[in-house]
Structure 1
């Protein structure tokens, strides 16, 4: 057996593997004998099928399988021994001019294209500077959070006349240009939340109405051409919602109002659990402020990580074997169109560069990512997801059980490992570079991060 490498470019190479019969014959003979022991062929007792008979019937397919296995082992061992860091996976080069007899005596030559990882240095120091935001809860954000919590435990009522914040339930019907109901148009029962209406004039027309009232309005203007909101309201896809030009008629069937829960002990117990230390409105606001600022630390960290991502890609310049990677992406994703590849490759390349940079930081500084860190990262994400549906947190033991189940999925575990690694690198770099801390309100931060 002979294996060699030929550079075909700065970041490209071809690995050639030459096989002689003595390289693959022992593996093939062994596989044939094992197959003979297990084969069930009419006319032969189990385990008594002659190896020659198996070779005659299945020899070529066994030869092909064993050569593929030998090539895979040989290629992987070569990459490891030569310490070649490749991107993607080796791609076989097909030579239509070469034909083999597959008669157990062929000499084979197989060639593989590989994309090589670039060489680069990662040098961060105090000379590198980034802003680190410390987000403070402003009165508007606090009031909005408290309002949502009070609504979550509020009581539904049906007032005679609508007010801002109410929901109008009724029949929505698409209108023709002449103002009549479009015969084959959209018609359904729907709930329109008044506070979501963006146009002040249309919003005002929805206030002060009662059952059986009829409202006509420009739906695009009402929701500021937000295709997602219009699609959700009308139960159509976003593309159709974006193209929709018709006005709509709402025949009100009911006015729904969610009265906010009182700020009393029963409410505090529902939010924080029975026996909570929160007993006053001041303590409640302080607790919600603390929880919001804790969540905002994560928002600020994500912003810092995104800034560091962009800063690193700008600071550390290196090339990738782009043409090879594009061929590899097409080879491993059969449904990937040329248009999708062209549109998504830049983001793929940026993420790959960031991965190479973080891997270099981890290797150069011997950073270890422990299972506990992966577990805690997964647990934090699951906790945040559950809190989206219920302000009451899950019990610690139950959350831990969900986390264990979540990490049993290999894809989830790999994703959490990568996220834990990114956090480890971020924490390391926080100590290396200069961070200019800036206090900012949540509203200002939201505008900055938009």
Structure 2
């Protein structure tokens, strides 16, 4: 066995592996004997098939399998032992001019292209400056959140006349261009949420309606061409809702209103537990804390994105682009040239950031422990469960769900990468200069 590496340049190389008969003959013979013991062929008792017969029938396929296994083991061991850092996977050179007989006497030579990982030179210091925003709840955002919570615990009423934020339960009938009801057209009974109507002029025509009132409605204009809302309202597919141009006759069957819950002790206890909040000021303070807690996640994401962009732009990393494009095509058979051209830039950015992450982790001895992965997965699952029920899941049950969740390789890898990213960002925060700045939420979202 002989394996050599020829460097084409700093980012590309070719590995040549030469295999002589003495490297594979014993493996092939052993495989043939094993097959003979297991073979069940007509004319022979099970386990009594002569090895020569197995070799005649299956010798070539056994040889191919043995060579492939030997190649894989040899190449992986070589890269590991020589600490060759590569991107993607080695690609076999298919047109190297070699032609083999596959008769157990061949001397094989296989060539593999390598995309070499570039050296990464990065040093985060206090000279790296970032703004860490402390997002505060502005009056409008806070009022909207309080209103939604009160309505969530409120009761449904049926006022005589519609007002802002009411829901019109109505019959909708598709109209012909002349304004008459289109025979055989779309007819459906649905709920029109006035808080979803974006056109202000149309919204005015829907306020002040009562049962049995009839109005004409341009759905595309009313909902700003939102096919999802339109399709749900009419009970049709979104694709059909996207192309719908007709106006509709709306006949009001009922006006529904969700009244806000009273700010009393019963309401406070339902949300926060008995006696935790006792007055409106305490209620507002709790909601402010909750809202600003959610804003902190947004602020953290912005800080991470600012770090990502700044550091990525400041580090000069050159990739073996031609190799990587070839590798992407080889490992994604359905990937078109157009898709590759459109998506390669984002792929390259993510790969460069991964190289930066790995360098920072290695140079600064950043540890990623299983308990960190478990705690993060547990937190994510807890948040998902709370979307369906405000009552927290028992700790032992949540832990069991988490353990089961992490048994799936894809889940474990995804959470590991998330923890890895968070660990790197946390490290950057400890060495870079963070300038804290208070900002109202409505101003913060304008920055996105």
- Match of 2:141? 141
Q: After superposition, where does 1:401-420 map in structure 2 within 5 Å?
A: 401-420=400-419
Deviation at residue 148 of structure 1 after TM alignment? 1.9
Instruction: Indicate yes or no: 2:256 matched with 1:288.
Output: no
Q: How many residues align?
A: 448
Q: With the length of structure 2 as denominator, give the TM-score of the two structures.
A: 0.93
Whether the aligned pair in 1 keeps the contact of 2:32 and 2:59 (CA below 8 Å) is yes
Deviation at residue 228 of structure 1 after TM alignment? 4.2
Q: Which string of whole-angstrom CA distances, capped at 9 and with x for unpartnered residues, describes residues 34-62 of structure 1?
A: 22222222333333322222212211111
- Match of 1:156? 156
- Match of 1:116? 116
Aligned partners of 1:272 and 1:46: how far apart in 2? 73
- Match of 2:334? 335
Q: After superposition, where does 1:48-447 map in structure 2 within 5 Å?
A: 48-95=48-95, 97-183=97-183, 185-234=185-234, 241-273=241-273, 275=274, 277-447=276-446
Aligned partners of 1:296 and 1:440: how far apart in 2? 11
Give the SS at the match of 1:422: helix
Deviation at residue 329 of structure 1 after TM alignment? 1.4
Aligned partners of 1:241 and 1:3: how far apart in 2? 62
Deviation at residue 98 of structure 1 after TM alignment? 3.2
Aligned partners of 2:316 and 2:232: how far apart in 1? 44
Give the SS at the match of 1:114: strand
Aligned partners of 1:123 and 1:243: how far apart in 2? 54
Aligned partners of 1:86 and 1:402: how far apart in 2? 36
Whether the aligned pair in 2 keeps the contact of 1:135 and 1:440 (CA below 8 Å) is yes
Aligned partners of 1:39 and 1:262: how far apart in 2? 80
Deviation at residue 368 of structure 1 after TM alignment? 0.2
Cα gap change, 1:298 to 1:235, in 2 (>3 Å): same
Unaligned segments of structure 1, at least 5 residues: none
Q: With the length of structure 1 as denominator, give the TM-score of the two structures.
A: 0.93
Whether the aligned pair in 2 keeps the contact of 1:271 and 1:392 (CA below 8 Å) is no
Cα gap change, 1:83 to 1:365, in 2 (>3 Å): same
Whether the aligned pair in 1 keeps the contact of 2:96 and 2:111 (CA below 8 Å) is no
Cα gap change, 1:392 to 1:276, in 2 (>3 Å): farther
Deviation at residue 338 of structure 1 after TM alignment? 2.1
Q: CA RMSD in A?
A: 2.1
Whether the aligned pair in 2 keeps the contact of 1:12 and 1:114 (CA below 8 Å) is yes
Whether the aligned pair in 2 keeps the contact of 1:271 and 1:391 (CA below 8 Å) is no
Aligned partners of 2:399 and 2:148: how far apart in 1? 27
Cα gap change, 1:293 to 1:45, in 2 (>3 Å): same
Cα gap change, 1:108 to 1:33, in 2 (>3 Å): same
Deviation at residue 109 of structure 1 after TM alignment? 1.3
- Match of 1:8? 8
